[in-house]
Structure 1
Amino acid sequence: MKRRPLRAVRRTLRRTVTRTRSVLLRRVFLPWRKDRAAVLRYAAVLDGQTVNLHARLPRWARPDERARIELRRRGRRHTAAARVYADHDGGIVMDAAILLGADVGGLPLRTGRWKIRLRLRKGLRRRALSLVLLDMPEPYGGPTRPMAASAVTGARYRLGRGVTGSARVTFTPPQPAAEVVRVQVSHSALEIAFRVVGGEPRAPWAEFVASGRRFEAEVDALGDGLWQVLAPLHLMTPHRDRPEQWDVLLCSDNLRDLRLGRRLHDVRNPKRVFAMRESAVTPVGLTPMLVLPRYTPAGNFRIQCSQMTEAA
């Protein structure tokens, strides 16, 4: 009998725990909290930085109440607008879209877990409700997927829940990353423009790395947070009949080496969606060769260089 991979065992265990927890929430905690909590029917972080919420409120709630969403952690508190109204079936529901991140004009969260509550006010009466998350958001199929991080800043916001089901959002600061913005191929050069999120490189340079070979190249600032490097194609001509694969690393005095790539997106297959054409390039003083910029399934930027045959 074959042993199951450890990853598959963990995945099965995680699913079992999630199902058991959802059953407990519905049968134990929700009846106990039905008049003191709102039940989330929908909760997701769609664009990597906006929390979208839709909840059913208790029977005593009224559509004319003023509502705010509150995010609280260790004495710190931030609020955002919410809307309470009557649903088509007569129930009272709440909608909210909360932009997160000071860099994009949203709530300036700090690292850690933030509890989410709904605050209602009508006249002098004030109430606070927990938002119960019965089921975690399910990933959907198709060519796109939910954004794992903000495309602007690289920060990560993940929805979760406490022991009793109360919703919370966890903020993780961005890790330094070099994101490719555009690639231009000319007759004799390859220009790569990129930006750096999660850090500011000091005295940066680039390294082009293939099997057994490594070359350095200058990095120039373009302004507006963009950088550019020219691939040294005259040094990247393949020495063998088969194509050579070159990775591009951003190096600096203050950050770890960063592999150029394209990861802040919602595409499941960057290799196919961000595909680029193969071009015939003639470095000065050398014979023509074929250059194919591309992305790996993991989103890493790679340059494929191969000899140009008579048939090509």
Structure 2
Amino acid sequence: MTRFFLPRRAGSSARLDYAAVLDGQTVNLHAELPRSVSDVNRADILLTRRHQKFRVPARVYTARDGRLLMNAAVLLGAAVGGAAVTPGRWKLRLRVRAGRRSRTLPLLLVEQTTPLSGSTGPMKYAPLTADRYRVGRTLRGDARIVCTKAKPAAEVVNVYIEHARIEVDLRVLGADVGEPWAELVAAGRSVERPLDGVEPGVWRLEVPLAEMLPSGERPEHWNVLVHTDGRPALRLARRLHDVQTPERVFAMRKIVVSPVRGALMTIQPRYTPAGNLRFTCVPESGTE
């Protein structure tokens, strides 16, 4: 269907050469206007869904070869001062004005934009709310924005490593929580800990080092689960970022502690390739 519609609509649509969401919440657009548009005094991107509409200014300029081109950056999400789009599919169009006359053009997405690969990549989720915005395409080739509400998740805010203490700040996204609490789990072991509120929406976990000493000579790996009212436990992780290898980029130092008299333990916070926070505890030979 797309192969059928695209050639027939090229003369009446603005053709997108670039359409991507790189930071998780801003739609970057670059398009070429059809030859039937010769003069533009003002241009706006229109986002519409049912009876909702948002208007964002766009820039139209003339290239050296005489073509009319358009650039726009559409910030999404009320939490960051952008268009307060709700979950669903939003039409994406360009309105141009010349004097008293105006015209609305579909934005034709011939090919999906593939961002360059490297050590970083596009953020899949908005960094503040974890909502997801992506550029889609209808069967007729029209570009559209698809908004998906954040799924419940527990996100690491910061990790504080001191001489003999580790604290973790976290927040819960996509769910209303009452008084969350944490559970650290290893093979056959579990430790429950309260969470202290440090600011609105942020809780602090004091890692119980004395209760994480390995029972044998082998290392133990502890994962953190966050429990909320009436919901399945959420695995604490760091996923709101744009790096490809979080286990390397967000590497943290390890510390040696004496959690109980006469015993030494090395503990290292780290992120798994999936972004989950994990504490590796290794017993050390020697005594105080």
**Pair 1:48–1:182, CA change in 2 (3 A):** same
Counterpart of 1:146 (choices 122, 139, 144) is: 122
AA paired with 1:157? Y
d(CA) in 1 for partners of 2:96 and 2:228? 51
Partner deviation per Cα, 1:76-124 (whole Å, 9 max, x = no partner) = 2111111111012210011110000001100011111111010111222
8 A Cα contact 1:186 1:281, kept in partner: no
- Runs of 4+ residues over 3 Å off in structure 1: none
Determine if the alignment matches structure 1 residue 274 to structure 2 residue 274: no
Unaligned runs of 5+ in 2: none
Residue 240 of structure 1 pairs with residue 206 of structure 2: no
How far is the alpha carbon of 1:254 from its aligned partner? 4.1
Q: Distance in 2 between matches of 1:269 and 1:63?
A: 47
Q: Which residue of 1 is the match for residue 138 of structure 2? A: 162
Alignment match of 1:182 (pick from 158, 166, 170): 158
Aligned to 2:48: 72
**TM-score, structure 1 normalization:** 0.88
- Contact kept in structure 2, 1:188 and 1:284, CA below 8 Å: no
**What does residue range 47-62 of structure 1 map to in structure 2 within 5 Å?**
47-62=23-38
Structure 1 residue 35 displacement after superposition:
2.5
Q: How does 1:19-98 map to 2 (within 5 A)?
A: 21=2, 24=3, 28-98=4-74
**CA offsets 1:43-83 (integer angstroms, 9 cap, x no match):** 10010000000000011223533111111112221111111
1:193 corresponding residue in structure 2: 169
Aligned to 1:252: 228
Give the Å deviation of 1:219.
0.3
Identity %: 49
Matched, 1:116 2:92: yes
SS in 1 for 2:5: helix
**What is the alpha-carbon distance in structure 2 between the residues aligned to residue 309 and residue 277 of structure 1?**
20
Quote the offset at 1:286 in angstroms: 5.2
Q: CA deviation digits over 1:21-50, x for unaligned, max 9?
A: 5xx1xxx42331123100001110010000
User: Deviation of residue 186 (structure 1)?
Assistant: 2.8
2 CA distance for matches of 1:82 and 1:187? 53
Equivalent pair of 1:100/1:109 in contact (CA under 8 Å): yes
Q: Point out the more displaced range, 182-191 or 130-139.
A: 182-191
Q: Does the residue aligned with 2:57 lie in a helix, a strand or coil?
A: strand
Matched, 1:208 2:180: no
Matched residues in 2 for 1:256 and 1:107: separation? 32
Q: 1:286 to 1:62 in 2, by over 3 A?
A: farther
What amino acid maps onto 1:287 in structure 2?
Answer: A
Higher strand share: 2
Aligned to 1:127, the other structure's residue is in SS state strand
Instruction: Tell me by how many angstroms 1:196 deviates.
Output: 2.0
Partner of 1:9: none
Greater helix share, structure number: 1
**Number of residue pairs matched by the alignment:** 286
Cα deviation, residue 284, structure 1: 4.4
TM-score w.r.t. length of structure 2: 0.95
Aligned twin of 2:276: 300
Q: CA-to-partner distance for each residue in 1:264-286, whole Å, 9 max, x for gaps?
A: 00010000100011110122435
Greater relative CO, 1 or 2 (CA 8 Å, sep 6+): 2
Question: How far apart in 2 are the matches of 1:62 and 1:151?
Answer: 40
CA distance in 2, matches of 1:290, 1:63: 69
Identify which range, 197-206 or 81-90, moves more after superposition.
197-206
Give the CA RMSD over aligned residues.
Answer: 1.5
Residue 205 of structure 2 is aligned to residue 229 of structure 1: yes
Matched residues in 1 for 2:209 and 2:216: separation? 16
